[in-house]
Structures are given as C-alpha cells and as structure tokens.
C-alpha cells in the first residue's frame, strides 16, 4: 500500500515514523514548509515516549508531483488549512484512492468530500497524544483507540486493509458504521481539554488536579453534550466528563495541540472546536456560555501575539 501523509506536525510525523518503522507500506510525507521538509530529509523522524525511542528516515517532499498515485492519503493538517491542502493532492488521487481525515474539530469531512468526492472520504479520530518537540522530533505521550469510518457507513475491503495497516503499526484501530458519532465524541474531549489548557498553560493531567479547572471543564463539556443530543448524535461513551478526565490521565504529560500552538504563537483551531459548538448551539437556540468564554479568551491570546509580531 502506498500512503501519503499530508502535514508534518506532531500526528503526521508520529504516523509516518510508526508506519515506516514497521515497513508494511511505502510511506510519503507531504509538507508545504520547505525548511521543515529539508530538515526531516536530513535528520529523519525521531520518536520518544510510550512507543519507545527510535529514529527513521522517511520519504518527504513539499511537491505533490514527486509522489505518484496513492492507495491512502491521510490528512493531518490544521483544520483551517484543509481546503488548500486537499486541493494540492490532486496528482495523488486515483480511482480507488481513499482520503482519511485524522483532524480535530467539525467540518473537515464535508470539505474533503466537496473537493475529492464523497465516495473517497474516510473520517477518523485517534486517542493518541503527541507533542512536537522540534521539526521531525516527536514525544509520544499517550495511546488510545483510532476509529475509522466511511460517510455512508459501509465496511469495505479497503477499509479493513487500512485498519490492518494501523494495527500492525501500533495503533489500535477499529471500524465504525457511525463515524460522525466518533468525531463528535472526540470533539467533546477536545472541548474539555484544548482551550482550557491553552489558556492556563497546563498539561492534560493538571487540568483535573484543580477544582477551578475541573468546574470549567465540566461546564464546557455539558454544553457540548446538550448540543450533540439535540443533533441526535450517539456518543461512544455514557459519561462525557468521566471520559475527558480519563483521557487527561492517559495523556498526563501531553500538551494539547492548542496549547502547543499558543506556546509557538501560531493560529489555533478554536473556530473548529469550541467555535463549532457555538455555531451549532446558536442554530439550535442552546446557551453555551462556558464555550463562549473559552473561545473568546483563546481569540484574545491569538490577537495579542499577532499584534506583538506585527
């Protein structure tokens, strides 16, 4: 199987490094950052943490024409870059190519389907936590299930082959006939962790050590669950706050992706996480004050460091 992973951030590098280490597939990384591409070409990908310590050389390019048609394309860019990233992969698309999103937030499946066609899109979520230490250097902080599913709910031969690639590479992968339920379930975990960690600068486990952060977390999660129920979304767990707290413990030293962005003074995915809940809640006439506050605080942080950089 020929696989292209789009985006050389923490998750993209973790996947590429793990796939290459197991030597089950031909793997390419496609990244639009020429400087980062050169660094990874020279030094490879280094992974430390719960999956062990290893370094592997990977095929990486910033030009899609360097890669021929792929069986599987995994999109690991930030949600605000989905449209431009997917438009760049046209040379990689064949008649039987599958395009898998392993991104945070809502809206990525719809964007990819609009560009590539619904029949090619696979939605996915993963419970693995990874921190980008430097370009091509990853700390693997926590493990969890990876759930994959087609929009139409069909469990095809290609889906089973993709699941097997993940499983052989150390990712516990499962197939789902209800991928939207899985995506919303991951969204609500992100609602509980990402913005709160970005504001407080706390690693995941510390968020549940303090009564103050636990109360805010509970409020934001409860609001998101109400929106999910109103949309008739079936979540993968019965107790959402208990699930968020268990994820915090399982990824105790992990810095959420949003906290990593804030520390690097980069744009966050707040509009696709808490912002997505706010938009959904408005259309349903459901109040979500905790999510409003969290989103506004993250936006204020972004504005401050963008002002400093101007």
Q: What is the pLDDT of residues 165-194, one digit of tens each?
A: 999 999 999 999 999 999 999 999 999 999
One of 186, 229, 234, 243 is an active-site residue; which one? Answer: 186
- Alpha carbons 99 and 86: distance in angstroms, whole number: 9
pLDDT tens digits, residue range 244-294?
A: 999 999 888 788 999 999 999 999 999 999 999 999 999 999 999 999 999
Query: Confidence class of residue 78 from pLDDT cuts 50, 70 and 90?
Result: very high
pLDDT at 55 over 70: yes
The average confidence (pLDDT) of the chain is 94
Residue 310 pLDDT > 60: no
pLDDT at position 252, please?
80
In 251-288, where does DSSP find H-type helix? 257-263, 274-284
Give the domains, in start order, of the chain with CATH numbers.
2-177 (3.40.50.720), 181-309 (1.10.1040.10)
Are 79 and 53 a contacting pair, CB within 8 Å? no
3-state SS class at 15 = helix
Q: In this predicted structure, what is the pLDDT of residue 254?
A: 81
Q: Is residue 58 a contact partner of residue 29, using CB atoms and an 8 Å limit?
A: yes
Residues paired with 122 in a beta bridge: 100, 150
Q: Please report the pLDDT score of residue 22 as a whole number.
A: 86
pLDDT in the model for residue 306:
79
Angle between helices 289-309 and 179-200 (to 10 degrees): 60
Q: How far apart are CA 105 and CA 6, in angstroms?
A: 17
Cα–Cα distance for residue pair 196/116, rounded to 1 Å: 34
Cβ–Cβ < 8 Å for 123, 112: no
Q: How far apart are CA 78 and CA 52, in angstroms?
A: 26
What are 137-155's pLDDT values in tens digits? 999 988 889 999 999 999 9
- Torsion (CA) 36, 42, 45, 48 in degrees, nearest 10: -110
Closest CA to 152 of 107, 118, 175, 117: 118
% of the chain beyond a pLDDT of 70: 99
Mean pLDDT of 209-220: 97
Element (H, E) at 145: none
Lowest mean pLDDT: which of 77-86, 141-150, 207-216? Answer: 141-150
pLDDT tens digits, 91-126: 999 999 999 999 999 999 999 999 999 999 999 999
DSSP bridge pairs for 126? 146
d(CA 217, CA 163): 32
pLDDT for the residue numbered 309: 67
Annotation says 282 is catalytic = no
Question: What is the structure's pLDDT at 153?
Answer: 92
pLDDT of residue 127: 87
Rounded distance between C-alpha atoms, residue 121 and residue 100, angstroms: 6
CB 294 within 8 A of CB 195: yes
């Amino acid at each position: 199987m020929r696989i292209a992973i789009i985006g050389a951030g923490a998750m993209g590098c973790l996947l590429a490094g793990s796939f290459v280490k197991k030597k089950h597939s031909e793997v390419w990384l496609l990244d639009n950052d020429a400087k980062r591409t050169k660094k990874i070409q020279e030094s490879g990908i280094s992974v430390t943490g719960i999956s062990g310590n290893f370094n592997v050389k990977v095929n990486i390019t910033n030009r899609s024409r360097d890669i021929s048609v792929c069986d599987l394309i995994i999109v690991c860019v930030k949600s605000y870059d989905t449209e431009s990233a997917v438009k760049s992969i046209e040379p990689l698309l064949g008649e039987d190519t599958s395009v898998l999103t392993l991104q945070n937030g809502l809206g990525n499946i719809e964007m990819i389907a609009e560009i590539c066609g619904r029949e090619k899109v696979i939605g996915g979520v993963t419970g693995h936590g990874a921190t980008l230490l430097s370009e091509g250097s990853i700390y693997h902080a926590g493990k969890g299930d990876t759930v994959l599913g087609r929009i139409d709910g069909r469990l095809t031969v290609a889906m089973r082959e993709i699941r097997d690639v993940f499983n052989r590479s150390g990712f516990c992968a499962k197939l789902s006939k209800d991928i939207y339920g899985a995506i919303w379930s991951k969204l609500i975990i992100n609602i509980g962790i990402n913005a709160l960690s970005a504001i407080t600068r706390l690693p995941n486990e510390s968020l549940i050590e303090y009564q103050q952060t636990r109360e805010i977390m509970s409020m934001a999660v409860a609001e998101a669950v109400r929106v999910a129920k109103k949309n008739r979304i079936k979540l993968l767990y019965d107790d959402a706050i208990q699930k968020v707290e268990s994820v915090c413990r399982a990824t105790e030293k992990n810095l959420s992706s949003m906290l990593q962005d804030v520390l690097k003074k980069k744009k966050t995915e707040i509009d696709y996480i808490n912002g997505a809940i706010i938009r959904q809640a408005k259309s349903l006439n459901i109040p979500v004050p905790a999510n409003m506050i969290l989103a506004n605080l993250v936006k204020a942080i972004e504005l401050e460091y963008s002002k400093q950089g101007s």
